[in-house]
Amino acid sequence: MSVTITIPAERLARWHRRWAERITPRLLAQAAGGALNGLLIRHLARVSETRHATAARLGATPTGFWEDAEKAVRLRLGQGDAEVSVTHPGIARAVRDVTIRPRLARALAIPLSALSYGLRPREAEQELGRRIFRPKGTRLLVAARKGRKGQDKAWDILYALSGAVFQKRDPTLLPDAKTIDDTLARAALNALDAEARAAAQ
């Protein structure tokens, strides 16, 4: 004895039409864009927790440089596509070597002290309440310590001056290609599954 249940072609065609009407490029763009946006924010949050080597070496408080990158992730949705961008000064190093050169000054001021870390020389001068100057024959910016009368004054060495700084490419600043592909595929499949279930009801 057997029982046969036939699924009529017209029913399948109806489900297919309903499913096809719901699965649009915009739906997939929303799913994939949202997933990629979240992935980048989580990744940069992990980056911001670990990139404090210079601050630690100088005994300074971290500036939150990479936390700003995490907050700079933006999603733009079109009708059938999506873009996720990160607008941040350090993010170019994820894809290429970077050479930083001064724009408005003759040299870059590289912090060498916890007193100057995260501050431009003018900001450090205001913060310290001391004049910052370059001793003759050096590539340094310093601030004199206040000494007692008759004593030699000592200097706090605050910055090294440089014409350019080279930074090597660091692909770990962004998720790797496989992680991105897996995230996009999972988001698309989840969206398809949710819409197929809704279309079948």
What number is the average pLDDT over the span 80-106?
93
d(Cα 123, Cα 102) in Å, to the nearest integer? 17
Q: Which residue has the higher pLDDT, 11 or 128?
A: 128
- Residue ranges per structural domain of the chain: 11-97+174-201, 100-167
Of the CA atoms within 13 Å of residue 67, those in its CB half-sphere come to 5
Read off the DSSP letter of residue 91.
G
Q: For the chain, what percent of residues have pLDDT higher than 70?
A: 95
Give yes or no for residue 86 having a pLDDT over 70: yes
Give yes or no for residue 141 having a pLDDT over 90: yes
Tell me what pLDDT residue 151 has. 53
pLDDT tens track for 32-57: 999 999 999 999 999 999 888 889 99
Tell me what pLDDT residue 198 has. 74
Give yes or no for residue 21 having a pLDDT over 80: no
The average confidence (pLDDT) of the chain is: 89
Phi-psi region of 180 (alpha: psi -120 to 50; beta: other; left: phi over 0): alpha
Average the pLDDT over each of 6-15, 16-25, 146-155, 161-170 and give the range with the smallest value: 146-155
Question: Is 117 in contact with 62 (CB distance < 8 Å)?
Answer: no
